[in-house]
Structure 1
């Protein structure tokens, strides 16, 4: 007789394979059709708000893996918070101004800017930017990111630009905005000033030269003809030299070498002597730097003085202790020279080419001038040594080409005026990781001014009108008027209207007696754009949410968005715009290398989504320690896919064994559950506690590992495994069977909720197969609160101890298999001797012990001479002498006892007879 049909085998339509690349787009369309984002807001509208403010990615090109890492992390948080007691609107944003879009139009689109007006070109920039927004928005949505995609914030919109003008005006009103001549990072390749946030450091090969400046007035300390030695890696700045800085407290020496007398810092003498190959030198004088103040030297090849000045920025880390000073090409140089009344000289134009202020080098590009200037120094006998070094050098982060320091008239935000308030606010913020506080604190502590003007076209104009005498006009009246004009017409009117038309009607100024006005032509730094989002977005929507609960971006944003947002917010409100800052690392390949097309190691999110599915990419994000740099490769994604399959198959097994379970009628009350089911619910409650704790601390890697481990160990290796002998074999309404199904049901429904923030596509799919779920999506439910879950602590110690004993037994069974004593564990009969009182008590108290150990029989004995010895028990494994039951596969002495069913054990025969299964 075939008894297969008498078994209650698992049945489910839930597919074994996820087929994610094909199913996810369908599910995303359903989410959009059902308007799940708005429904989630409606469901939670009476709860406290939780705001994660989106740092805007730049609207240019397809998403890279860093974009995916960032947005998925944010989605974990917003989804989790929405399911744990909060109202969580999420407004995605885009940064849309700046050079890359200008470059894309001129190079990729072949747009000739000279054939059109500024306003016409800006309109093309806006169109291009919005195309990029649409492209990136579609790719973000395919990653399962939930948010207000129909109403994002975009930095080029009228409302946004109007709010940004308001921020500028408030800062100007408080005296934080000024225009001045000062050396700033300048990019000849972009022909624009740059902020520190726009600087990246790469290795560069540069000439390293030692130059002698001859003293003409030693002020009684030095002799005429003594030579002060400087060292520089920028020979091109020598034509701009106006002085030499020394430290007032350092010791300096005059050294006699080969009939010449040289001045260097005493601490650097040995190194300089070695570099310049001074074989026999003699120190003829020692003095402190302060005594050499205002000594005069002569420029090596121009007929002008080079004044010795005192500067605390001078160090003995490298060089000679005497620092070449060109106030037009260095920040320290500028400030020191200013104290000495020395005017700025900047003989290099916006393209990096020497002007007529550098006779002999006019028309040369600064970098190419290095060789010519070095040759000139050698010609006049001032060059002591030339060699080449490779060192870290600032580059334009967009063009990847070297920058220079160049003094120009720029608009600045005076950070130093409110720096202490910023530092105080930094200490109030929660930082993940903690070192983020120190990093930003140190950046702000050393910051003087922020150059906010750019000599570009595509951006928000600096809203300054100039009077006839060039006095800048920035008043509450003009700022409010311009802000309102931008809100109504957009910022393009700045380039379309005359200056007088941008002023309030009837506006007059004593500085413009003839009523003539002109406009500022520079635009604002794009970091001022995005840094104003706390005003434009957090305060610009229906509900006011400043400060935001969280800003979360890559670690490069300490110098970028975290910094600019903090500066503008503190300037305007006196407070930080965020309560918590979280940063993540960069995505590297499997070997820890930066991704690049040349290496062929680029992993594209769209490709992963099409090949494996967005949930696999999301699961990868959850698996890594994102606060450090993270690795991704095909092999790593393959491992993640295996983990996904384990989780999915565990869920599928539970679903399949709930095929005949009706929660309304079949659920066993908690108090009446079997002990093992209570124990598994206890174990699961601990999982919920741990997972929620990890989520609350924004630690997603523990969430992944805790859930994966629970599925693999607690469920698959134990609860789902031993239960087959009950779920398949017993009658449908058997209480032990319904008890296990109750445990499965409780664990499954809660487990899916725990997984929803991480793999929402799969979670929603599972939700559709769980019996009697009322909500249309698991996203519209709450993650269980462990405090509201049943507590079975009283049995935990007993079953925890059993699990330790079980580990001993599993070792014994494995050894028996290796020794060919048994094949499958159901062939085994175990003789177990407990080694202590607790173990004896635990094992004697468990009915059907053999089922939990998945063997056919267990005998407990007081003494065992030939057993394998383990921690808690000694174990002897025999092959069971009984016959194998055709129905349950358990070896039993009772097979054949019931004559009508000679191939069944008495247990199976009774089940079959009493339930009329044949």
Structure 2
């Protein structure tokens, strides 16, 4: 059977064919021509989420760019003029840590001793080392993007645009001041992004101590008679204990062994207390809201008037069913938290809002203060009794 199609050779040199197509696109200026032909078409602009050129490109860059390339090509096929602007990510901890390794220094103090200006210059140099290899990869994988006018996050014009954006957000009343829980590196003395935390070495399996702590009640129907029993795997945060959370819909028991009386979740009674203990009474978590207790350590101050309102513009709300009109001690009372479970522990959770996202959310809803006695370098403030000057994890013991 005869057709009008050219005969396909039995052996196709795919690598050579690739270079022929790329050469044609380059000589024909195909990418630029696709934009010129749509000069008056509606625009759909693409800014590349930029790679960092302080290391050689890898297969993950190819994968990411394939996904990114799909959308501009699709919009082009729909008739849009699609300007595609490349970029370079020039800032971030991954850049700085890489330069630290090259210089043989470690940590913020070592960088300051080396000289911040010189360190910044080394960082600027490092993020431009592999741009040629990235540009070659861009061409070889047929990723159409304008590399000739790529933006760089370290350029003053780019930084100014970020400040402009922040001002616009502020002027619209969309910016407010509040606390936020973020991953943090005491060595670098900086917050970490989720991406940085996900790098190799970001997570390790470690063994942490756990402790049971009594919180004697000072108000409510059990004041002077019983204590809340709390279990925690972060003993160092007890220094800044602010509240104890219970689940409003969980049943709790008041139990005694004849010498002391403790409050735990009914479902965990056998596991936590067990033989030798008897149940005196039962009560709901909701009924304990706002009961006050004696905190375990009097090492940091909670100044009078430290209770605050949720910041204007935030979405923090008091938990469902909370008695809004309530006694208002500065801190150290029972709060309601739907996230409290009876999977382990005692069903009562120690709250230190400076060191936990759940703690922060619930304590902010109750207007409780955020007390952080730990310095930027991960050591307790020298003025804190018992643990002053210690690295926070060493304070566990």
**Bin for the TM-score computed over the shorter chain:** 0.7 to 0.9
Deviation at 1:256, TM superposition (A): 1.7
TM-score under structure 1 normalisation?
0.35
Deviation at 1:98, TM superposition (A): 0.6
**Structure with the larger helix share:** 1
Q: For 2:135 and 2:126, how far apart are their aligned partners in 1?
A: 14
Q: For 1:214 and 1:10, how far apart are their aligned partners in 2?
A: 89
Structure 2 match to 1:150: 148
Pairing 1:172-571 to 2, within 5 Å after superposition = 172-181=170-179, 183-195=181-193, 199-200=197-198, 202=203, 204-207=205-208, 209-215=210-216, 217-219=218-220, 221-224=221-224, 226-248=226-248, 250-257=250-257, 259-265=259-265, 269-274=266-271, 276=272, 278-300=274-296, 302=298, 307-318=332-343, 319-334=345-360, 336-337=362-363, 343-370=369-396, 372=397
Q: For 2:121 and 2:336, how far apart are their aligned partners in 1?
A: 49
CA 1:188/1:273 → structure 2, altered by over 3 Å: closer, same or farther? farther
Instruction: Check conservation: 2:268, 2:342, Cα contact below 8 A.
Output: no
CA 1:184/1:81 → structure 2, altered by over 3 Å: closer, same or farther? closer
Instruction: Check conservation: 1:309, 1:336, Cα contact below 8 A.
Output: no
Deviation at 1:225, TM superposition (A): 5.2
Pairing 1:749-898 to 2, within 5 Å after superposition = none
Q: Return 73-82 or 361-370, whichever deviates more.
A: 73-82
CA 1:38/1:259 → structure 2, altered by over 3 Å: closer, same or farther? same
Deviation at 1:25, TM superposition (A): 4.5
CA 1:341/1:178 → structure 2, altered by over 3 Å: closer, same or farther? closer
Deviation at 1:184, TM superposition (A): 3.8
Instruction: Check conservation: 2:210, 2:233, Cα contact below 8 A.
Output: yes
Q: For 1:350 and 1:44, how far apart are their aligned partners in 2?
A: 54
* 1:593-634 CA distance string (max 9 Å, x none): xxxxxxxxxxxxxxxxxxxxxxxxxxxxxxxxxxxxxxxxxx
Structure 1 match to 2:323: none
Instruction: Check conservation: 2:215, 2:230, Cα contact below 8 A.
Output: no
Partner-residue secondary structure (3-state), 1:61: coil
Q: For 2:259 and 2:100, how far apart are their aligned partners in 1?
A: 60
Structure 1 match to 2:139: 141
Deviation at 1:131, TM superposition (A): 2.6
* 1:429-448 CA distance string (max 9 Å, x none): xxxxxxxxxxxxxxxxxxxx
Structure 2 match to 1:123: 121
Count of residues in correspondence between the two structures: 360
TM-score under structure 2 normalisation?
0.75
Q: For 1:325 and 1:9, how far apart are their aligned partners in 2?
A: 78
CA 1:157/1:214 → structure 2, altered by over 3 Å: closer, same or farther? closer
Instruction: Check conservation: 1:102, 1:125, Cα contact below 8 A.
Output: yes
Q: Return 254-263 or 178-187, whichever deviates more.
A: 178-187
Deviation at 1:101, TM superposition (A): 0.8
Instruction: Check conservation: 1:246, 1:310, Cα contact below 8 A.
Output: yes
Q: Which has the larger radius of gyration?
A: 1
Q: For 2:179 and 2:71, how far apart are their aligned partners in 1?
A: 45
**RMSD of aligned alpha carbons:** 3.6
Partner-residue secondary structure (3-state), 1:207: coil
Deviation at 1:48, TM superposition (A): 3.9
Partner-residue secondary structure (3-state), 1:92: strand
Structure 1 match to 2:309: none
Instruction: Check conservation: 1:289, 1:310, Cα contact below 8 A.
Output: no
Deviation at 1:170, TM superposition (A): 0.6
Q: For 2:365 and 2:35, how far apart are their aligned partners in 1?
A: 59
CA 1:134/1:76 → structure 2, altered by over 3 Å: closer, same or farther? same
Q: For 2:290 and 2:43, how far apart are their aligned partners in 1?
A: 63
* 1:678-697 CA distance string (max 9 Å, x none): xxxxxxxxxxxxxxxxxxxx
Instruction: Check conservation: 2:243, 2:335, Cα contact below 8 A.
Output: no
Counterpart pick for 2:69 among 72, 75, 78: 75
